[in-house]
């Protein structure tokens, strides 16, 4: 196994490629000669605007490869400097039967991805869940937060500010309501670090994912604080990186951001053997091994590949894909029951999904939501429960493949296999 010295020496060799260190240093210096013309920024989504933007790009011949749809104006408010649309393959998994507090039924789940074998894996897992009668799913709690910070001259001022802010909760709630018809401030938390105060505002955002909603509401509250606080903060920031927004964090793992959801299923030993080609003991043994491996690597949570299913679902349904960073943490747990069956469960503390607003109204994304009958108001909680069921199916499938020794074979056949091999296996579960 190469040591750090070997790795570093190899990298230096790759960097130099016959060049001297002096040449490299010269190449990396800032260069303000012949600066390129700045690309103008625009939020307009019109064919005329697209044509103007392309005139500033060096490879005009590529324009035809980036599809420019007739319904381009419908993208306005979701993109700036549009130059076309991106084609991503869209598959479907399931149907997945969900028996939840909000989701009840059989769902064909759209998944957008360029990774071969991904949809097949989730399809296998969700079909297995359905064959067992479906998964039970439950939204446990929901909130979306913003965490502004306030800097004061000393700790005494910081303490005085916190006492005032806690008493102002009813006023803060009224201020937030002036910015939204759907969001509601439901709680405030405080963190004091020296003479700095972080306030954590928790909101309910109805059926929207809600990041923009809570940002605007929090800014209004901050403006009120600046105008009325008995001690004037020297600095105010509407978000001070305490919320866990779009990043994996222990805070996101131990609390809830978005919708905290759990899903479970009981699988008979015969069904595990028939569909996953291994035993319940095989599944549990691999889960324990992978759980320890995750701890050794410093992973937040214990899970196989939450990000795969969430990213594909988020892309397909118009969610903020960057939120996968915070959504794809949580717990997968497998146990053998007293009757010899497999108990499998997933818990995700931060499913950031909406069925209104954001990208959910775009034509193809809205069609994907409609495919599941989850477009529009009063559907976001159901979407979160379906997402948890999808993730559970993905965990069952990938752990089954690894426990049975089939993981590499599946990728060989579907990702790198010859066309005739794929055609020969077409439709084979």
Residue 77 above 70 pLDDT? yes
pLDDT number for residue 429: 47
pLDDT tens for 34-74 read 888 888 888 888 888 888 888 888 877 777 777 777 788 88
What φ, ψ does residue 418 adopt, rounded to 5°? -70, 155
The whole-angstrom separation of Cα 109 and Cα 91 is 8
The whole-angstrom separation of Cα 90 and Cα 296 is 35
Among the listed residues 320, 326, 341, 385, the single catalytic one is 320
The whole-angstrom separation of Cα 182 and Cα 287 is 41
DSSP string, 204-270: E-TTB--HHHHHHHHHHHHHHHHHH-SS--SEEES--S-S-TTS--HHHHHS-SEEEEEEEEEE-HH
Q: Which residue has the higher pLDDT, 8 or 193?
A: 193
pLDDT tens for 269-282 read 999 999 999 999 99
Among the listed residues 56, 115, 264, 406, the single catalytic one is 115
Retrieve residue 416's tokens.
């790198």
Mean pLDDT computed over every residue of the chain:
90
115 is catalytic: yes
pLDDT tens for 195-232 read 999 999 999 998 988 888 999 999 999 999 999 999 99
What are the structural domains of the chain?
42-87 (no CATH), 91-142+254-424 (3.90.770.10), 148-237 (3.30.70.420)
Is the CB of residue 197 less than 8 Å from the CB of residue 235? no
pLDDT number for residue 13: 85
Q: Which residue has the higher pLDDT, 427 or 82?
A: 82
pLDDT tens for 149-165 read 999 999 999 999 999 99
What φ, ψ does residue 424 adopt, rounded to 5°? -65, -30
80 is catalytic: no
320 is catalytic: yes
pLDDT tens for 335-365 read 999 999 999 999 999 999 999 999 999 999 9
Among the listed residues 108, 196, 224, 411, the single catalytic one is 411
């Amino acid at each position: 196994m190469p040591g750090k010295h070997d790795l570093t020496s190899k990298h230096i060799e790759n960097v130099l490629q016959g060049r001297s260190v002096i040449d490299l240093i010269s190449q990396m210096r800032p260069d303000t000669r012949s600066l390129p013309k700045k690309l103008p920024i625009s939020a307009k989504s019109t064919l005329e605007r697209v044509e103007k933007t392309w005139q500033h790009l060096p490879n005009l011949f590529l324009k035809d490869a980036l599809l420019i749809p007739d319904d381009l104006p419908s993208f306005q408010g979701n993109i700036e400097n549009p130059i076309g649309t991106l084609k991503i393959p869209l598959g479907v998994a399931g149907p997945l039967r969900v028996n939840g507090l909000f989701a009840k039924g059989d769902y064909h789940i759209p998944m957008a991805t360029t990774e071969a074998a991904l949809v097949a894996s989730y399809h296998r897992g969700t079909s297995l869940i359905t064959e067992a009668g479906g998964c039970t799913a439950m939204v446990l709690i929901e909130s979306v937060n913003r965490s502004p910070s306030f800097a004061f001259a000393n700790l005494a001022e910081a303490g005085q500010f916190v006492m005032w802010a806690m008493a102002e909760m009813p006023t803060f709630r009224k201020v937030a309501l002036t910015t939204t018809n759907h969001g509601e401030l439901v709680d405030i938390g405080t963190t004091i670090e020296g003479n700095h105060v972080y306030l954590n505002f928790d909101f309910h955002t109805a059926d929207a994912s809600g990041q923009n909603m809570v940002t605007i509401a929090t800014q209004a509250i901050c403006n009120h604080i600046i105008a009325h606080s008995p001690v004037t903060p020297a600095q105010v920031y509407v978000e001070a990186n305490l919320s866990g927004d779009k990043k994996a964090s222990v805070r996101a793992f131990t609390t809830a951001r978005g919708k905290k959801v759990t899903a479970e299923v009981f699988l008979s030993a015969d069904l595990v053997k028939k569909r996953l080609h291994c035993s319940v003991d095989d599944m549990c043994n691999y889960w324990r091994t992978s759980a320890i491996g995750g701890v050794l690597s410093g992973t937040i949570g214990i899970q196989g590949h939450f990000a795969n299913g969430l990213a594909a679902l988020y892309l397909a349904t118009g969610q903020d894909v960057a939120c996968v960073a915070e959504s794809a943490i949580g717990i997968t747990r497998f146990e053998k029951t007293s009757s010899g069956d497999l108990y499998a469960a997933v818990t995700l503390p931060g499913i950031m999904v909406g069925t209104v607003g954001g990208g959910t109204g775009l034509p193809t994304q809205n069609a994907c939501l409609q495919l599941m009958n989850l477009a529009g108001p009063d559907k976001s909680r159901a979407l979160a429960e379906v997402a948890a069921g999808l993730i559970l199916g993905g965990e069952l499938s990938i752990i089954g493949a690894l426990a049975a020794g089939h993981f590499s074979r599946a990728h060989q056949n579907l990702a790198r296999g010859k066309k005739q091999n794929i055609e020969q296996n077409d439709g084979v579960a």
